[in-house]
């Protein structure tokens, strides 16, 4: 009986230690998730700012390119007014020495097209990195949720088992004490009888 109580006491102590370890792991997991949430929020905010800037820059570049293409690409007709308005407002004749610098225009358009391409590439890169970061975050969050649930269930069952063992130990210790008291009474009675028989 004593060995059973010692064995159960040892197992109960071991379960309590395992619960303590699991609770510290749960606390660490919760802290890690909070750090991940904060980092993810910060990277998403950085992405939102960068995306807004790149979209704005790309939009402005495309407008500039459209204007310059219209100007250098024969878009002069677009600048002329319709006939009704044109008859009312007479434009002065264009100076004869004025000519569009097509070569310079082409090089400006070329530079702006390269810049537009760079902006579009950077925007695609930012979007790809954001998508990858979100996917990674979602995966880690899901793994943490599973680990947390598993550890919480382990804690629950180990605490329950430990309490059950403690109850059993208390009851068994009471039984042992009662048995020892009865044994002591029997031993005392036996020694008295033994003295009477021998004397």
CA distances from 18 to 13, 21, 118, 122 (A): 9, 5, 56, 50
Q: Does residue 172 contact residue 1 with C-beta atoms inside 8 Å?
A: yes
Return the pLDDT at 171.
Answer: 84
In this prediction, residues 188-198 reach a mean pLDDT of 81
In this prediction, residues 148-157 reach a mean pLDDT of 94
- pLDDT tens digits, 25-67: 999 999 999 999 999 999 999 999 999 999 999 999 999 999 9
Question: What is the Cα–Cα distance from 155 to 150, expressed in whole angstroms?
Answer: 9
Question: What is the Cα–Cα distance from 93 to 91, expressed in whole angstroms?
Answer: 6
- pLDDT tens digits, 83-118: 444 455 555 555 555 455 556 677 888 899 999 999
Task: Tell me what percent of the residues of the chain surpass a pLDDT of 70.
Answer: 82
* This prediction's pTM: 0.63
Give the count of alpha carbons within 13 A of 125, CB side only: 8
Task: State the Cα angle at 116 between 47 and 109, rounded to 5°.
Answer: 160
């Amino acid at each position: 009986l004593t060995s059973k109580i010692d064995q159960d006491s040892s197992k109960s102590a071991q379960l309590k230690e395992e619960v303590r370890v699991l609770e510290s792991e749960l606390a660490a997991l919760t802290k890690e998730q909070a750090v991940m949430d904060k980092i993810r929020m910060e990277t998403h905010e950085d992405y939102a700012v960068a995306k807004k800037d790149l979209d704005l820059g790309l939009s402005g570049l495309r407008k500039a390119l459209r204007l310059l293409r219209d100007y250098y690409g024969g878009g002069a007709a677009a600048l002329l007014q319709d006939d009704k308005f044109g008859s009312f407002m007479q434009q002065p004749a264009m100076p004869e020495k004025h000519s569009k610098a097509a070569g310079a225009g082409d090089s400006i358009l070329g530079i702006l097209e390269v810049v537009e391409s760079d902006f579009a590439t950077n925007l695609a890169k930012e979007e790809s990195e954001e998508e990858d970061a979100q996917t990674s975050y979602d995966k880690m969050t899901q793994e943490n949720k599973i680990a947390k649930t598993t550890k919480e269930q382990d804690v629950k069952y180990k605490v329950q088992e430990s309490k059950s063992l403690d109850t059993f130990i208390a009851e068994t210790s009471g039984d042992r004490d009662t048995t020892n008291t009865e044994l002591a009474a029997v031993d005392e009675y036996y020694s008295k009888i033994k003295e009477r028989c021998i004397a």
